[in-house]
Structure 1
Amino acid sequence: MSGKIDDLIPTAQEIQKQASIKEAEKAEEQLRHITAAEEAQRALIEKLSKPSGLSEEEKIKLASTVIQRAVRNGLSEVQVYRFPNSLCTDRGRAINQMEPGWQKTLTGIPLEIYQLWSDHLQPRGYRIRYQIIDFPGGMPGDISIVLAWGD
Structure 2
Amino acid sequence: MTETPTQASGHENLADESFISAEDLRNYMHQQEAARLNKELSAMDLAERTRAELIKKLSEPLELTPERLHEIQQNLIHKIRLAAERGETEIMIMRFPNALCTDKGRALNNGDENWPDSLTGRPRQAYELWRDHLRQAHYKFKAQIVDWPNGLPGDVGLFISWA
Range into which the TM-score falls when normalised by the shorter chain: 0.7 to 0.9
The answer to whether the aligner puts 1:13 opposite 2:23 as a matched pair is yes
The answer to whether the aligner puts 1:37 opposite 2:37 as a matched pair is no
User: 1:42 corresponds to which letter in structure 2?
Assistant: A
Q: The residue matched to 1:17 in structure 2 has which SS?
A: helix
Deviation digits for residues 87-126 of structure 1 (CA, Å, limit 9, x no counterpart): 1111110111121321111112211110101111112221
Distance 1:24 1:78, change over 3 A: closer
Deviation digits for residues 120-140 of structure 1 (CA, Å, limit 9, x no counterpart): 111222110111223232222
Gaps of 5+ in 2: 1-6
TM-score, length basis structure 2:
0.78
Deviation digits for residues 49-78 of structure 1 (CA, Å, limit 9, x no counterpart): 222455222222222222222232333322
Determine which structure has the larger helix proportion and give its number: 1
The answer to whether the aligner puts 1:149 opposite 2:159 as a matched pair is no
The alpha carbon displacement at 1:5 in A equals 4.0
User: 2:52 corresponds to which letter in structure 1?
Assistant: R
Q: The residue matched to 1:34 in structure 2 has which SS?
A: helix
Q: The residue matched to 1:33 in structure 2 has which SS?
A: helix
User: 1:149 corresponds to which letter in structure 2?
Assistant: W
The answer to whether the aligner puts 1:78 opposite 2:88 as a matched pair is no
Distance 1:50 1:127, change over 3 A: same
Larger radius of gyration: 2
- Relative contact order: is structure 1 or structure 2 higher (C-alpha 8 Å, sep ≥ 6)? 1
Gaps of 5+ in 1: none
**Would you say the 8 A contact 2:62–2:122 is kept in 1?**
yes
Alpha-carbon distance in 1 for matches of 2:139, 2:35? 54
**Would you say the 8 A contact 1:59–1:116 is kept in 2?**
no
Q: The residue matched to 2:17 in structure 1 has which SS?
A: helix
Q: State, as a whole percentage, how many aligned pairs show the same letter.
A: 35
Q: How much is the aligned-residue C-alpha RMSD, in angstroms?
A: 2.3
User: Which residue of 90, 100, 107 corresponds with 1:94?
Assistant: 107
The alpha carbon displacement at 1:84 in A equals 1.9
Distance 1:42 1:17, change over 3 A: same
Alpha-carbon distance in 2 for matches of 1:131, 1:5? 63
